[in-house]
Structure 1
Amino acid sequence: MRKRWSLILVGIFLMLLCICLIPYVKKMNATFPGGVGVNIHFTGKQADIDRIRDAGINMVRTDLFWSAIEKEQGVFDFNSFGYDELTSELEKENITPYYVLDYSNTLYEEDGAFIQTEKGFKAFDRYVDEATQRYKNKNIIWEVWNEPNIGLWKPEEYYKLLKETAKTIRANDPSGYIVAPALAGLSEESFVWLEELFRLGALEHMDAISVHPYRSWAPETVAYEYDVLRELVEKYSSKNVPIISGEWGYSTENGWYDLHLSEEEQATYLVRMLLINQLEKIPISIWYGWENDGTDESNFGLIEYDTGNPKLAYQAINAYSYLLADYQLSERIQTNSSDDYVLKFVNDNKEEIFVIWSVGTTHEINFLSKGQVYSLFGKKLYFHDGSTLEIGQQPIYLITK
């Protein structure tokens, strides 16, 4: 009898152990999540969340401001600022939260943009502990700070923050993903800062490398910089660490980067950014941002400031999401010019969609596949009969089914 009870207790113990390990096994076997996201600066706007969902956007990136959550030492209030409501709304709509753990807090640091004291580091870790305990088991993407390389952070100081923060996240939320460092730009200067961070061992504490590849020129130029970054990763780690585009946008504000982009040009760059990231096997593309911000970081948005009217960029991302739903990128088909992009997408039924554009001037190419052509905004244009096809800087969709 005693032996029998021992076997039963051992069985119960093994069963409970297996249950406890399920989240960890899932995380080890899972691939890094993918999708298209948008950066927001609001909480509590259900109508906007609905429009984000309707556009086929499946991730939302926003800051969990430490200073807004802890206004009195040791008292953490996520509800008043709307983070509980936002998390619940995103979960309901099956949109993945992408939460940035930042910035400093003047309760502990004189400089509200930086952490430089041991007291500040320990307090930040308590805030991370509270956040990741509260929102655990929701497959959240946790980002450690935002653009530390353009602030006061030295690589060794940021490494200390990353290491401790990652330890806390992994202890509290086995379903979560850790991304860092939200690198500002892909310049020579930013790569120097990043290499020092990698040399310290940072790659062991992140599930993906997040970068912000802003530029005043065409999105396709990012391919070279991604190659440089991949070489840097291979130099310091044997792990397969994905690169994600955590923030990238183009503004219609006159004079931004000395550009004067129209809404149509912004929409063109948006879709080409998403497509080139797919071609470069970048699993996540976060567009900055959801709404024009008035006179501050103005006119990056998919919708207008105050009125909420959709810009052409919103229509373009809606068409992109709708037309390419359930399709996977198969290959880039070469033409006579390296300026041309012909991307072939295929679904499970072997049906094909081609997305076609050029970074050069408008011209014709020979294209044998027949199909219905749609504009950047999803408007039905004409049926292509398999002869010559006119292409330009604005992507078109050719559906063969």
Structure 2
Amino acid sequence: MKRSTPNPRRRLLVALAGTMLTAPGLPRAATRIVLDAARTNADATRGYIDLPGFAASRKNTGIAVHAIDDTSLLDAVKDAGFSFVRADLFWEAVDTPHGWDFSRYDTLVAELSERGLGALFILGGIHRVHSPNRPPTTPAQLAAFRRYVFNAAQRYKGKPVRFEVWNEQDHKTYWHGEPSPVAYRNVLKLAVQAVKAADPDAIVATGGVQQVNRTFIRAVGDIASPAQPAPDAVSVHPYRQTEPETVFADYAALRRDLSSYRRPPQIWATEWSYPSYGYNYVADIGDGHSSVARARQANYAVRLLLANWISQIGLTSYYDIRDDGRDRTNMEHNFGLLDADDAPLPAYIAVRRLFAFTADAVRARYFLDPDARYVVLKLSAARATKYALWCYGDGNAISVDLSRLPAGATVTNMYGAALDAGNRRRLDVPEARGPVFITIEA
């Protein structure tokens, strides 16, 4: 039924009070933010920006899985809230001396389908017979690679499977030779042709470059022509030593580059996360198994996903589901959401909470203050208005005034634990706390 006046619990505002508070226990002056249950909707004046692609970006979020035969990992992927797994579909693994053998991947796709999950397969790798110790570059090698790509796309036609062409082709270790935009362009052209010939509805992206390597992406260029189909997306791996929010500028710059393409592709972030050891943000700890390091990792994991969804990235693949080992001082052993024994880490719990909190959003808007370095995400659901608030930058803090919210409003940390603002009805949110979630039921 149409209401003549807005419901005050549904028409909440965020206002910057314009004053700086020095709150006890905070390392620096905290920007004060007021959540106001006034009847007037001041979203426009507060600079909120609509995010029409937020829900789709959130939905297209998956995670890397190395041990694809371990169904317990697939259960964990589903439980956390991800929608697909990213895995290598190695050329040599399926193009065998005894003929084509996709049985291992058939089993994976079937197991994923049982759980309502899809797959993102990386097409690539050297082949000891067709292209030993080097990427395909000769006509014969390229023809063999094309057969492999065609057969893979044909095999999974009609399945919830998407493809990437190679992985980090801008690095000599993964390209298996000196990186060459020209050589990769040749591989990309024939691979996209093969995928679309096998299944015109299949979705295929470029391989993910390291960080956001715009120089390499520009050198490869737009391959589209009347006779040449283009990839549906350009993939990046935006790892960085700085906080997740620095990715906003990188995505904006890449979008400007891609806007000149014949058919501008989506941006996919097919690999990104922060380990609990070996990066600047945990350099003062020196122990990847430390509870402090793992809490920081959880904070960054949630903010990473929120940054991608706010950027309306076409697809996100987190790295990865499980630690690759037990060495607390080996960076490669400390990327997982689960530890090496499959125990959920703080990042797993926080990511699962994030998916649950955002699940019912039908509209998303956000406000970002680049000077005070904080973000407010506002979500509208059928029966609630929700906020996620956080700040970024080492030592930064915000102070959230909750005094004008309805009595039934709930406030939790990023793990879902209730937070008490006390009699002041003001919540101090330092950067180290991570995002705070607020729900106001209609």
Q: What SS does structure 2 have at the residue aligned with 1:205?
A: coil
Matches for 1:239-254 after TM superposition, within 5 Å: 239-254=263-278
Q: CA deviation at 1:311?
A: 0.8
Question: Is 1:286 paired with 2:317?
Answer: yes
Asked whether the equivalents of residues 70 and 76 of structure 1 are also in contact (C-alpha less than 8 Å), the reply is yes
Question: Kindly tell me: are residues 180 and 34 of structure 1, through their superposed partners in 2, closer, same or farther at Cα, counting changes over 3 Å?
Answer: farther
Aligned to 1:322: 356
Kept in 2, the 8 Å contact 1:71–1:107? The answer is: no
* Structure-2 residue corresponding to 1:375: 413
Alignment check: 8 A CA contact 1:114 1:153 kept: no
Provide the aligned length of Structure 1 versus Structure 2.
Answer: 361
What's 1:90 paired with? 112
226-235 vs 322-331, which moves further: 322-331
Match of 2:154 in 1: 133
Letter in 2 for 1:66: W
> Could you tell me whether the CA contact under 8 Å between 2:181 and 2:220 is conserved in 1?
yes
TM-score in terms of structure 2 length: 0.76
1:36 & 1:161 partners in 2: Cα distance? 27
C-alpha offsets along residues 182-211 of structure 1, whole Å, 9 cap, x if unaligned? Answer: 11112xxx2222111115559951111111
The answer to whether the 8 A contact 2:361-2:380 is kept is yes
CA contact (8 A) 1:291 1:301 kept: yes
Per the alignment, do residues 33 and 124 of structure 1 end up closer, same or farther by CA in structure 2, a change over 3 Å counting? farther
Residue 362 (1) aligns with residue 397 (2): yes
Aligned equivalent of 2:191, options 165, 171, 174: 165
Q: Which has the larger strand fraction? A: 2
**1:76 maps to amino acid:** W
Map 1:1-400 to 2 at 5 A. Answer: 34-72=59-97, 75-79=99-103, 82-111=104-133, 113-151=134-172, 152-186=178-212, 190-198=213-221, 201=224, 205-235=230-260, 237-254=261-278, 259=283, 260=286, 262-294=293-325, 297-305=332-340, 307-328=341-362, 330-333=364-367, 338-347=372-381, 349=382, 351-360=384-393, 361-367=396-402, 368-370=404-406, 371-382=409-420, 387-393=425-431, 394-400=434-440
Between Structure 1 and Structure 2, the one with more helix by share is: 1
CA-to-partner distance for each residue in 1:109-146, whole Å, 9 max, x for gaps? 231x5222222111111111221111111132111000
Counterpart of 1:253 in 2: which secondary structure? coil
Separation (CA, whole Å) in 1 of partners of 2:343 and 2:139: 47
SS in 1 for 2:276: coil
Q: String of CA shifts for 1:281-326, please: whole Å, max 9, x gaps.
A: 1132211011111167221001111x11111111011111112112
CA distance, structure 1, for counterparts of residue 401 and residue 57 of structure 2: 38
Q: Identity across aligned pairs (percent)?
A: 27
Cα distance change, pair 298–340 in 1 and its aligned pair in 2 (3 A):
same
Residues 34/183 of structure 1: CA separation in 2 closer, same or farther (3 Å cut): farther
Contact 1:139-1:176 at 8 Å conserved across structures:
no
CA gap of 1:334–1:219, structure 2 versus 1, over 3 A, is closer
Gaps of 5+ in 1: 1-30
SS at match of 1:357: strand
Over 3 Å counting, the alpha-carbon distance change for 1:115 and 1:365 in structure 2 is: same
- The offset of 1:341, in angstroms, is 0.9
Q: Is the 8 A contact 2:189 2:223 kept in 1?
A: no
Deviation at 1:346, TM superposition (A): 1.2
**Aligned CA distance change for structure 1 residues 369 and 335 (closer, same or farther; 3 Å):** farther
CA shift for structure 1 position 227: 1.2
Task: From the superposition, tell whether residues 351 and 156 of structure 1 become closer, same or farther in structure 2 (CA, over 3 Å).
Answer: same
Q: Secondary structure at the residue paired with 1:174?
A: coil
Superposition TM-score, scaled by structure 1 size? 0.83
The CA distance in 2 between the partners of 1:308 and 1:222, in whole Å, is: 30
Q: CA 1:334–1:206 in structure 2 vs 1: closer, same or farther (change >3 Å)?
A: closer
- Partner Cα distance (2:338, 2:232) in 1: 32
Q: What residue is the counterpart of 1:12 in the other structure? A: none
2:53 maps to which residue?
none
Measured on the aligned residues, the alpha-carbon RMSD in Å equals: 2.5
Residues 1:126 and 1:263: Cα distance change in structure 2 (over 3 Å): same
Structure 1 contact 138–176 (Cα < 8 Å) conserved: no
Contact 1:373 1:397 in 2 (8 A): yes
Instruction: Give 1:160's aligned amino acid.
Output: N
State the partner residue of 1:3: none
CA contact 1:250–1:270 (8 Å) conserved in 2: yes
Q: Partners in 2 of 1:278 and 1:33 — Cα distance?
A: 6
Once residues 399 and 338 of structure 2 are traced to their aligned partners in structure 1, the CA distance between those partners, rounded to angstroms, is: 34
Whether the aligned pair in 2 keeps the contact of 1:140 and 1:175 (CA below 8 Å) is no
Q: Which residues of structure 2 form unaligned runs of 5+?
A: 1-55, 173-177
